[in-house]
Structure 1
Amino acid sequence: MHVIIEQVTARIVERSKSTREAYLHQMKGAEDRGVHRSRLSCGNLAHGFAACGENDKQSLKMMNAVNVGIISSYNDMLSAHQPFASFPDQIRAAVHELGSVAQFAGGVPAMCDGVTQGQPGMELSLFSRDVIAMATAIGLSHNMFDAALYLGVCDKIVPGLLIGALRFGHLPTLFVPAGPMPSGLPNKEKANIRQLYAEGKVDRDALLQCESDSYHSAGTCTFYGTANSNQMVVEVMGLHLPGSSFVNPGTNMREALTREAAQQVVRITAQNGRFTPLYEIVDERSLVNAIVALLATGGSTNHTMHLIAIAQAAGVIINWDDFSDLSDVVPLLARIYPNGDADINHFQAAGGVGYLVRELLAGGFLHEDVMTIMGKGLSRYTQEPFLENGKVVWREGVSESLDSKVLSTVAQPFSANGGLKRLEGNLGRGVIKVSAVAPEHHIVEAPAIVFEDQDAISLAFDRGELDRDFVAVVRYQGPKANGMPELHKLTPYLGTLQDRGFKVALVTDGRMSGASGKVPAAIHVWPEASVGGPLAQVADGDIIRLDATTGSLQLLADNDAWLARGQTMPASAANHHVSMGRELFAPMRGQVSCAEEGASVFVFTEMGV
């Protein structure tokens, strides 16, 4: 093992001793009590299988039969989740072959950031993760299930499902992906048309056609944002079947993998002698593996919050120092848009997760001695699935990249580090993703222009007020202010200005997510402005220095007098608290933690963890 991987893992273990012990005590207690229908009264059990067919009823009366609970994020508006419509029937048929039963335990909400970008609904997006976790708990609360399958793909959905699943960590658990849509319009061309539209050089019809050609069928969006980062992380944590993350929907392989996942979760139950509960899989080492995989592929910055929240649900405490220190040594092995031109289908064709895991294991960057849904050892995840007579079999994956422009080696990486840096200074703590930022833009020192709303930047751009060097400070975008929406509307405008030769950067207490691109952006800054963080006192013309090489975020001033300016949150901020259901989320805005604590409404230390 690389010494830094060992050191970071060791300090996480030490930091998490008491909370991890408390979590394991809870899970083992639940395991000892049993998830047996025999604990239910006759009336309870009758309600639980009233709608089942006669054969399933008889099986569920026999306490040695396995009942698999299905939690799904299906809806037919999201392209990524529309394929899940047929999965429950496939799962039921597959578990019936093993003499077991599967019941649809519950659905969870699933919203699409692509639809809500720049809209009021985006301010519910981050909070939806914790709503999904609670909905997951409700679905499993009936105590009818011996194992669980989770069907989810996109941004907040998989983290929410995993947080909820970890509170039922005594159950054997498997995540079932749906796969990415086939490749459409190349990402570079899409980005170019978006930028031309921002400059007024193409019309809305051309923009809509571009977007339609990019997002054109069922499946996950093909760029490497949070959705595909989710799949990468979950597979490397050992919660997917090997090689299953990026198989397109509607294919024979996709259906075969879904059936195999259903049968695999039955195999790892106590009734079948290979009991592997979730709490044995998700631990300090598997979480470090998840961070390493994220860094090695230039994955979504959303996971600097999601993985922290997921870890907390398992009694593990990680922070941005861990991310940053790992990033300093983990090599960047993948070039997938937005840090390259390729999409996730090109990544899969070049060798996919199997090649990535093989290369990272060989370099000493991953813990091999972990538990997975396939058994002990991450080396199982160097394999790829193939079909033989309609059945899934695994063979060793490629040992060399099939496209060196997409997947490289530890010996010759695209970058010596993972491109994620913790930022710290008199403006607070934040993170920056520089894997897609050219080296000449890693340091920006320029006057601030302050915005309280992302729409104000587009208006200033249209008025020609931004043709100069500046640092855009977009504040009151944190979780307590308005739910921390993603600020993707800024990217075309700031990118255009950078292309014109101006030094441009962004500093915000909001998010940019997996589409963080070529403009340097200090994001997730806390303390956020709405609770009196330093960003609240920045004024137009203040000189700000963002240095991604040293991890510094500073307002340059002779003294701290600027912190006493007395600027307060504008009254217009209240407009973000009503309409489109936002008023219902006031308790969450009041309770949510800061970004480095997962931006979560859950306080697990108050729950005995």
Structure 2
Amino acid sequence: MTSLHTRLTNVTDRIIERSKATRHAYLTRIEDAQGQFPARSVLSCANLAHGTAGFEGQDKIAIRAMQHPNIGIVSAYNEMLSAHAPYRNFADVIKQAAREAGGVAQFAGGVPAMCDGITQGNAGMELSLFSRETIAMSTAIALTHNMFDAALCLGICDKIVPGLLIGALQFGHLPTIFVPAGPMTSGLSNDEKAKIRQQFAIGAIGREELLNSEARAYHSHGTCTFYGTANSNQLLMEIMGLHLPGAAFVHPYTPLRDALTAEAARRVLQLTAKGSQYTPIGRVINEKAIVNGIVALLSTGGSTNHTLHLVAIARAAGIIIDWNDFDDLSRVVPLLAKIYPNGKADVNDYHAAGGMAFLTRTLLEAGFLHDDVTTVSGNNLSYYYTREPKLVNSKLLWIDGSRESHNKDVLRSATEPFQMDGGLRLVQGSLGRGIIKISAVALRHRSITAPAIVFDSQEGVQAAFDRGDLDRDCVVVVRFQGARANGMPELHQLTPLLGVLQDKGFSVALITDGRMSGASGKVPAVIHLSPEALLNGPISKVRSGDIITLDAEAGKLDVDAAEWASRMSEKPIIHSYQDKLGFGRELFGIFRAAALPAEQGASVF
């Protein structure tokens, strides 16, 4: 048996120690919540009548008989998200599989699911982060009827999976499996897409050409194929044991996808309190599972959003992690995948190269994953999650996954990584603490000393770019973009602009208290800078012309400015959050006012 890497054990041990009181309180709470089987047996006749009034036929009889476990389905289906559109018929597949396995399934509730790809640069983006909290509360409402002995959560994209998981963890006594729908087939290459966006940014092509490009990239049902937050979510759900093995990246509308969906229903019925394999979600998500999630994220160059989401997820289970844990692990966990924006490949290439089974195997063999964890499939990773699902004569089987990468330009073993350390860094200094994703940043661009150019909005950056004011070495500072200010929107509009400047030969970087997400690319970007500007963080004191030094390798971020210690913080002059009303933003004022710092997940819970 491979011994664990010392850094892995040290980080895990300190998380366990740090979380003793909160984790104990959480486990006590979920143990107290586990009552009789079936759960609905505690309901009065009137309660039960209400709970079954929407049912018909045999399902209604089965619910009333008090003999069959009932699965609550919580779904993020809608037609606005290509990734979630396939969920339209999943409930029917699940219900039929549940009946055949001696159970019942009931659509418990839907949760909202917004698309950052649609709202980028628009007012709706300021609701994006806090949609996670809305989804968590919606999940809790769906499961609060006490009708269910298990749950299936149907969600994929950015804030949706974290929200579903945070909500499900409040019902930690319920066995829960996450059911993905899979990625869309590959369209326009990510590399070509990025080039066309940069051409549009400099006016070399028009809107029609840009739209044609984007429509070729995002062309059908399924998850967007670049390695952003949505696909990082899928990796995490699998490595943390909440997916069936190999479920993450199977295309929608295929026989294998339908078989995996049906099997999720059958499997979760086996995990209820009625059987001998009772596996509540609150026991699956423990300290070791969270560390495994961090490792997998780092080893693949995953989304920076999870320096927020994983923190919030862990807290929902009574586990306290911070950015030091990410940073310490990142310095020893090797980078094993090159998926856009870290490379030219997409998640379909990653899956074909060996995917999750190969990644899990090589990380285990190198001592970077805890094997002794509880999952929805069984009590270790090495047996269950190094296998791949296959249909053999219409029967779903799991076979041993690949022991070698089928494409070493996309996926490598821990013995021959792309680089010896992971994809994220904690940077800190006189400007506070922030996160930088370096897996896509060339070594020569990871260090910069240049004058600051300060903006209070991404619209201001666009205007300065159009005027040519940014055609020089500079550190673009975009502040008042934190959770308390305007909900911490992603600033993707800046990616093509800064990429153009870098391609011109200028040394450029971005520093912001906002987000850039999984699409952070070749330009060094320090994000989630904390404390944020609206809370008088040091970023609020920066003036254009101050000299900023960023050294991502050393983890340093400092400013050289006259009279820095006595300088007063500035307040937003334009586009302040108080002036931005409409598009539902006023409904989220209470969320902004209550948001915790970024390092605590920017959560309101």
1:490 to 2:514 alignment: no
C-alpha distance in 1 between matches for 2:597 and 2:164: 21
C-alpha distance in 2 between matches for 1:274 and 1:62: 23
SS of corresponding position for 1:564: coil
C-alpha distance in 1 between matches for 2:145 and 2:56: 19
Instruction: Let me know the Cα RMSD of the aligned residues.
Output: 1.0
C-alpha distance in 2 between matches for 1:359 and 1:574: 47
After superposition, the C-alpha distances for 1:384-408 in whole angstroms (9 at most, x for unaligned) are 0001232210000000000010011
1:111 to 2:105 alignment: no
C-alpha distance in 2 between matches for 1:248 and 1:201: 36
Q: 1:507 deviation in Å?
A: 0.4
- Which among 38, 45, 51 is matched to residue 48 of structure 2? 45
SS of corresponding position for 1:371: coil
- Which among 296, 301, 304 is matched to residue 298 of structure 1? 301
After superposition, the C-alpha distances for 1:3-53 in whole angstroms (9 at most, x for unaligned) are 000000000000000000000000111114666211100000000001212
C-alpha distance in 2 between matches for 1:245 and 1:574: 38
**Code of the aligned partner of 2:79:** D
Structure 1 residues 387 and 500: CA distance shift in structure 2, 3 A: same
After superposition, the C-alpha distances for 1:99-148 in whole angstroms (9 at most, x for unaligned) are 21100000000000000000000000000000000000000010000000
- Which among 513, 517, 538 is matched to residue 517 of structure 2? 513
Which residue number in structure 2 is paired with residue 6 of structure 1? Answer: 9
C-alpha distance in 1 between matches for 2:579 and 2:497: 23
Which residue number in structure 2 is paired with residue 531 of structure 1? Answer: 535
- Which among 377, 380, 385 is matched to residue 374 of structure 1? 377
**TM-score relative to the length of structure 1:** 0.97
C-alpha distance in 2 between matches for 1:293 and 1:152: 20
Which residue number in structure 1 is paired with residue 413 of structure 2? Answer: 409
C-alpha distance in 1 between matches for 2:569 and 2:597: 22
Which residue number in structure 2 is paired with residue 441 of structure 1? Answer: 445
**Code of the aligned partner of 2:483:** P
Which residue number in structure 1 is paired with residue 171 of structure 2? Answer: 168
Q: Assess if the C-alpha contact under 8 Å between 2:536 and 2:569 holds in 1.
A: no
Q: How does 1:314-463 map to 2 (within 5 A)?
A: 314-379=317-382, 380-463=384-467
Which residue number in structure 1 is paired with residue 281 of structure 2? Answer: 278
**Code of the aligned partner of 1:253:** L
**Code of the aligned partner of 2:105:** A
Q: How does 1:539-550 map to 2 (within 5 A)?
A: 539-550=543-554
SS of corresponding position for 1:376: coil
C-alpha distance in 2 between matches for 1:296 and 1:362: 14
Q: Assess if the C-alpha contact under 8 Å between 1:576 and 1:582 holds in 2.
A: no
**Code of the aligned partner of 2:283:** E
**Code of the aligned partner of 1:254:** R
Q: Assess if the C-alpha contact under 8 Å between 2:300 and 2:423 holds in 1.
A: no
1:85 to 2:95 alignment: no
Q: Assess if the C-alpha contact under 8 Å between 2:388 and 2:399 holds in 1.
A: yes
SS of corresponding position for 1:555: strand
1:466 to 2:470 alignment: yes
C-alpha distance in 2 between matches for 1:397 and 1:49: 43
Q: How does 1:150-169 map to 2 (within 5 A)?
A: 150-169=153-172
SS of corresponding position for 2:385: helix
C-alpha distance in 1 between matches for 2:521 and 2:97: 42
Q: 1:575 deviation in Å?
A: 5.7
Which residue number in structure 2 is paired with residue 248 of structure 1? Answer: 251
Q: 1:559 deviation in Å?
A: 5.1
C-alpha distance in 2 between matches for 1:63 and 1:546: 63
**Code of the aligned partner of 2:492:** H
Q: Assess if the C-alpha contact under 8 Å between 2:38 and 2:69 holds in 1.
A: no
**Code of the aligned partner of 1:385:** P
**Code of the aligned partner of 1:447:** P
Which residue number in structure 1 is paired with residue 564 of structure 2? Answer: 560
Structure 1 residues 210 and 291: CA distance shift in structure 2, 3 A: same
C-alpha distance in 2 between matches for 1:595 and 1:576: 23
- Which among 254, 257, 260 is matched to residue 260 of structure 2? 257
Q: Assess if the C-alpha contact under 8 Å between 2:457 and 2:575 holds in 1.
A: no
Greater shift, 143-152 or 572-581, is seen at 572-581
1:232 to 2:235 alignment: yes
SS of corresponding position for 1:270: coil
Q: Assess if the C-alpha contact under 8 Å between 2:36 and 2:42 holds in 1.
A: no
Which residue number in structure 2 is paired with residue 192 of structure 1? Answer: 195
Q: 1:208 deviation in Å?
A: 0.3
C-alpha distance in 1 between matches for 2:336 and 2:579: 40
1:23 to 2:40 alignment: no
Q: Assess if the C-alpha contact under 8 Å between 1:4 and 1:326 holds in 2.
A: yes
Q: 1:228 deviation in Å?
A: 0.1
C-alpha distance in 1 between matches for 2:579 and 2:492: 17
Q: 1:262 deviation in Å?
A: 0.8
1:207 to 2:210 alignment: yes
After superposition, the C-alpha distances for 1:155-195 in whole angstroms (9 at most, x for unaligned) are 00000000000000100110000000000000000000000
C-alpha distance in 2 between matches for 1:35 and 1:201: 64
Which residue number in structure 1 is paired with residue 506 of structure 2? Answer: 502
Q: Assess if the C-alpha contact under 8 Å between 2:38 and 2:67 holds in 1.
A: no
**Code of the aligned partner of 1:406:** V
**Code of the aligned partner of 1:151:** L
Q: 1:558 deviation in Å?
A: 5.8
Which residue number in structure 2 is paired with residue 607 of structure 1? Answer: none
**Code of the aligned partner of 1:158:** V
Q: Assess if the C-alpha contact under 8 Å between 1:283 and 1:314 holds in 2.
A: yes
Q: Assess if the C-alpha contact under 8 Å between 1:308 and 1:597 holds in 2.
A: yes
1:180 to 2:183 alignment: yes
C-alpha distance in 2 between matches for 1:278 and 1:411: 33
* Contiguous gaps of at least 5 residues in structure 1: 603-609
SS of corresponding position for 1:372: coil
Q: 1:419 deviation in Å?
A: 2.2
After superposition, the C-alpha distances for 1:525-568 in whole angstroms (9 at most, x for unaligned) are 0110011111111111000011101111101136534x523522
SS of corresponding position for 2:575: helix
After superposition, the C-alpha distances for 1:463-499 in whole angstroms (9 at most, x for unaligned) are 1111100000000000000000000000111010011
Q: 1:274 deviation in Å?
A: 1.5
Q: Assess if the C-alpha contact under 8 Å between 1:120 and 1:576 holds in 2.
A: no
Q: 1:98 deviation in Å?
A: 1.2
Q: Assess if the C-alpha contact under 8 Å between 1:35 and 1:143 holds in 2.
A: no
Q: Assess if the C-alpha contact under 8 Å between 1:67 and 1:146 holds in 2.
A: yes
Q: Assess if the C-alpha contact under 8 Å between 2:38 and 2:66 holds in 1.
A: no
Q: 1:55 deviation in Å?
A: 1.4
C-alpha distance in 1 between matches for 2:43 and 2:121: 48
Which residue number in structure 2 is paired with residue 605 of structure 1? Answer: none
SS of corresponding position for 1:569: coil
